[in-house]
Amino acid sequence: MMRRLLGATLICLFFMGSLCAQDVKMNPALLQGHWPANWVTCPDVPLRDYGVFHFRKTFSLTSKPGKFLVHVTGDNRYRLFVNGTPVCSGPARGDLYNWYFESVDLAPYLKAGENVIAALVWNMGVYAPVAQISNQTAFVLQGDSEAEQLVNTNGTWKVMVNQSYTPCSTDNMQRLRAYMVIGPGDQIDGSRYPWGWEQPGYNDVAWKAASAVANPAPLGYGTDNQWTLVPRPIPLMEETLQRIPAVRRAEGMEVNADFLGGKKPLTIPANKTVSILLDQTFNTTAYPELLVNGGKGTVVKMTYAEALFDKNNQKGNRDEITGKNIIGNYDVFQMDGGNNRLFRPLWFRTYRYLQLDITTADQPLVITDMYGQYTGYPFKAVAGFSSNDASMQELWKVGWRTARLCAGETYFDCPYYEQLQYEGDTRIQSLISLYVTGDDRLMRKAIMDFYHSRVPEGLTQGRYPSNRIQVIPPFSLYWVTMVYDYWMHRKDDAFLKPLLTAVSGVLNWYEQKIDEEKKMLGPMKWWNFVDYTDAFADGVPEGATNGNSSVITLQYVYTLQQAAELFTYFGKTYEGAYYKKLAATLSNGTYQQCFDKGREEMANTPEKKAFSQHAGIMAILTNTIPAKDIKAVMNKILSDNTLGPATFYYRFYLNQALKKAGMADQYYGELTPWRNMLKTGLTTFAEKPEPARSDCHAWSASPNYDFLATICGIMPDAPGFAKVLVRPAPGELTEINGSMPHPAGTITVSLKRTGKSDGIAGEVVLPPGISGRFVWNGKVVVLKPGKQAVRL
């Protein structure tokens, strides 16, 4: 969007991460029946088509209030202003049954006398991101108490259609030859933009009165709801200034990078065509903001890319630009010639490289500043890791950047191409979040998002929120595993117990697919994705569709074993025993049908024509391999190059198998794929080995979990993290130091190797009230709350 710049400051006017709707004490009456406000919209326009709208309400206050709490949401999205200052954006993505609203205190932005609340609301229509669910264009704002209800949305609000916006960059999938569903770019004609619309004193006499759509209804109320309102369960997104440090290439004129600091303007002469390639130097998610004066008739195209492409459409080293061009999502800004014009797209962009292609007309264009406003979930890293190998710090930094860019109002698989929340990615992301930040709110939301996604068959959808149906049955199993993970890391029975019925639904779907003769899963419908390895067609292993896949049968066993523990804990002993017995039956059946004793390897199907690391990994994780053979099988998984290989994603489970086999010390030596990514100039970890589509993919950030959970060996040893297991696996490292948040405090591990090869000594600190055990080479030391020395 564009607005008139207030004063000279370009520092972000708000930091929204400190506000959390779930912490707001709202009027309970608003959760027990219809709201007095109305959902409002713009009259006489198609309400499900693409459109950008502005809403305004002018009102007077006798004095500046100490508190002025409102609840606000919109469809598709909105950005709220008070007296010209941006206050919040939303809503958090959900669905029509769970349409989230934000609760914000507007008092800091209000004053005695005349005030204006304004909202930018947009609907992408058929161009909407796949992650965006929608009903129709609408906006609602509700005052919390009687004192604030003078600003309730109703016919006293005014509205206009912004005719300056047109969708562009709608052919990204064709140009990038990749699946890309994040929504369109913005093409904005500055001559048609209502400059200053959000400011007090703007003349809105020609605007229409907003028309009522419906009475807002909270969850559990209403009989004809278009949206069912639920309080936002996560904090508002962070937004902070992020400077772009480098001009990498300029064509058409010489360009000094000084304008990127906002200290010296860059003037593009009249009737000139110029191309400027900027380098953030690392991948980011941000709202790019371009501040200009003059330049009437100028067109600026802003293109965003994670990497440049050579003539063969390959990325190569991400730092290199020679012989490469930018291909990517873009926005177009057409200048009206005014001063202090600030361009900002409606939605954030993902980029390392940003190219400005500028064509001026008869008036020069002055760029007074260009920068980004970094955005994402306001995670705060409180964990730490270090070792005698200093190179691991870069792996830690890049992994955390990857995880951060893949976390917004939901977890993202990747921020550039999809911005969709998939269980396969999210299970790993959630563990990273718990270990690095201790913040479990986005994990809880993700668990509930998938709970709300269930189809009549009982499965969760493979990704959600999503306006297209995609069912990935193995990902439904990972949703159950996410529930198990949360149970192991958080004492939250009231949250978990209602989910057990849905867990049973997922497990029952699989049970109906059992081949009773072979005691394995038979044929299965939908997309049975396991891993984007070249060994599997479209990520699907042999036997998944036609029947008797060892990989997916054993994943089902893995999940049944976890479910057995969950149900037993919650007093459902019959179900727990049943799932445990069913897991044993399928485990034994798969071993008998698929294990090749001569090769010491698990085949993908009973025909034993194809073998993969994945089958062996799941066989180890489920104890399908007899204990006496487990190390031999694990060694074959690591050494046999004929096995279908696990990609970055499934190497998370490869590491879990190493731990299960008592071979976790080999993890340090398995980091070569991540080190190789750094050598190619990647600043976030990629989706898969080259050629990679996404340069930032959440499932590849697993080292930020494993450095703490594997190398330092910190794991829950009882549900709710009530006890701590420290089983370090430093491998070739001689010194390791790690700290991570725990619900009761901080866990710290500082260790050094002693002796020739088998000794270890150091210090472990556990939070108050938390005990545990330290395990090293089969020996156990009891850990007590507080600081203690260990030496073995």
Name the β-bridge partners of 358.
Answer: 274, 300
Residue 560 has pLDDT above 60, yes or no: yes
pLDDT the model gives residue 5:
34
The amino acid present at 371, given as its one-letter code, is Y
CATH class of the domain at 2-163+192-236? mainly beta
pLDDT the model gives residue 767:
98
What are φ and ψ of residue 665, in 5° steps? -60, -20
Handedness of CA 379, 447, 771, 387 (dihedral sign): negative
3: confidence class by pLDDT, cuts 50, 70, 90: very low
The C-alpha angle with vertex 520 and arms to 515 and 525, in degrees rounded to 5, equals: 70
**Mean pLDDT (whole number) for 497-506:** 98
- Pair of tokens at residue 3: 């607005």
Residue 191 has pLDDT above 50, yes or no: yes
Radius of gyration of the chain (CA): 28
DSSP line for 533-579: -TTSBTTB-TTTTTS--HHHHHHHHHHHHHHHHHHHHTT-HHHHHHH
Name the β-bridge partners of 186.
Answer: 167
Residues 6 or more apart in contact with residue 180 via CB below 8 angstroms: 172, 173, 329, 416, 417, 418
Residue 14 has pLDDT above 80, yes or no: no
Question: Tokens 């259609």 sit at which residue?
Answer: 161
What are φ and ψ of residue 170, in 5° steps? -90, 0
Name the β-bridge partners of 229.
Answer: 99, 218
- Pair of tokens at residue 270: 């009249």
The amino acid present at 587, given as its one-letter code, is S
- Pair of tokens at residue 394: 């870069």
Neighbour count for residue 627 (Cβ, 10 Å)? 9
Q: Which of 289, 288, 305, 309 is CA-nearest to residue 415?
A: 305
pLDDT the model gives residue 2:
41
105: confidence class by pLDDT, cuts 50, 70, 90: very high
Q: Which of 583, 622, 584, 575 is CA-nearest to residue 602?
A: 622
566: confidence class by pLDDT, cuts 50, 70, 90: very high
Residues 673, 690 contacting (CB under 8 angstroms): no
**Mean pLDDT (whole number) for 369-373:** 98
Q: Answer yes or no: CATH 3.40.47.10 is held by domain 513-666.
A: no
Q: Which of 430, 488, 383 is CA-nearest to residue 741?
A: 383
The C-alpha angle with vertex 237 and arms to 234 and 238, in degrees rounded to 5, equals: 135
Share of the chain above pLDDT 90, in %: 96
Q: Which of 19, 18, 36 is CA-nearest to residue 27?
A: 36
**In the CATH scheme, what architecture does the domain 239-376 have?**
Sandwich (2.60)
Query: If DSSP codes are grouped into helix, strand and coil, which group holds residue 138?
Result: strand
Residues 6 or more apart in contact with residue 31 via CB below 8 angstroms: 218, 219, 231
How far apart are alpha carbons 583 and 587 in whole angstroms?
A: 6
Name the β-bridge partners of 612.
Answer: 644
pLDDT the model gives residue 647:
96
How far apart are alpha carbons 274 and 234 in whole angstroms?
A: 43
Question: Looking at residue 709, what DSSP letter applies?
Answer: I
The hierarchical CATH code for the domain 712-792 is 2.60.420.10
Residue 326 has pLDDT above 70, yes or no: yes
Query: If DSSP codes are grouped into helix, strand and coil, which group holds residue 762?
Result: strand
Residue 15 has pLDDT above 60, yes or no: no
pLDDT the model gives residue 24:
80
How far apart are alpha carbons 275 and 326 in whole angstroms?
A: 11
Residue 756 has pLDDT above 80, yes or no: no
Span between the terminal Cα atoms of the chain, in Å: 62
Query: If DSSP codes are grouped into helix, strand and coil, which group holds residue 750?
Result: strand
Share of the chain above pLDDT 70, in %: 97
- Pair of tokens at residue 272: 């000139």
Residue 544 has pLDDT above 90, yes or no: yes
How far apart are alpha carbons 130 and 414 in whole angstroms?
A: 13
pLDDT the model gives residue 17:
33
Residue-wise pLDDT tens digits, 391-401? 999 999 999 99
Length of the chain: 792
Residues 6 or more apart in contact with residue 201 via CB below 8 angstroms: none
Residue-wise pLDDT tens digits, 144-187? 999 999 999 999 999 999 999 999 999 999 999 999 999 999 99
Name the β-bridge partners of 735.
Answer: 752
**Mean pLDDT (whole number) for 190-195:** 97
pLDDT the model gives residue 1:
41
- Pair of tokens at residue 226: 């278009």
How far apart are alpha carbons 31 and 47 in whole angstroms?
A: 27
Residue 378 has pLDDT above 50, yes or no: yes
Question: Tokens 């049908």 sit at which residue?
Answer: 593
**Mean pLDDT (whole number) for 403-415:** 98
Same-fold call for 513-666 versus 712-792: no
Average pLDDT across the chain, whole number: 95
pLDDT the model gives residue 422:
98
Question: Tokens 């879990």 sit at which residue?
Answer: 656
pTM flag (> 0.85): yes
656: confidence class by pLDDT, cuts 50, 70, 90: very high
Residues 182, 128 contacting (CB under 8 angstroms): no
**Mean pLDDT (whole number) for 556-560:** 98
CA distances from 365 to 267, 343, 360 (A): 6, 14, 7
What is the pairing mode between strands 228-231 and 208-209?
A: unpaired
pLDDT the model gives residue 25:
87
pLDDT the model gives residue 19:
36
Residue 12 has pLDDT above 70, yes or no: no
Tell me, rounded to whole angstroms, the distance of Cα 117 from its chain centroid.
31
Residue 345 has pLDDT above 60, yes or no: yes
The residue ranges of every structural domain in the chain are 2-163+192-236, 239-376, 513-666, 712-792
